[in-house]
Amino acid sequence: EAGVVQSPRYKIIEKKQPVAFWCNPISGHNTLYWYLQNLGQGPELLIRYENEEAVDDSQLPKDRFSAERLKGVDSTLKIQPAELGDSAVYLCASSFAGTSGDTQYFGPGTRLTVL
């Protein structure tokens, strides 16, 4: 079974430029998460989807960040414009409601560097 797929793996951009990340969850997983992880820290939730509905986006900086999951499968996270402080790893995870505690399975992440 394929795991969570993310692309690109690495992205280097200049500040004020836009950037987008893509995630394809594990087949059949209805819940999708986007996390931000800074070096030496744990993942911090940006947004959680149940199917195509964003059920928790309280930590998403909506002035510059947006996300969508149009058909309840894959998802895109966008930053526009990017700032220096956005340099981090962006992790996507998925889970299936009803499994033990909604165990989350993570993708490899996108490492963003903003210059």
Partner 1 sequence: GQNIDQPTEMTATEGAIVQINCTYQTSGFNGLFWYQQHAGEAPTFLSYNVLDGLEEKGRFSSFLSRSKGYSYLLLKELQMKDSASYLCAVRDTGGFKTIFGAGTRLFVKA
Residues that bind partner 1 (CB under 8 A): 4, 40-45, 48, 55-56, 91, 100-109
Nearer to partner 1, 3 or 18 (CB): 3
CB of 48 to partner 1, least distance (A): 8
Cα–Cα separations (whole angstroms), residue 105 to 7, 27, 53, 71, 79:
16, 12, 19, 20, 23
Please name the residue that has the structure tokens 């998403």: 60
CB of 43 to partner 1, least distance (A): 5
Nearer to partner 1, 8 or 18 (CB): 8
Nearer to partner 1, 22 or 105 (CB): 105
CA–CA distance, 102 with 12 (Å, rounded to integer): 33
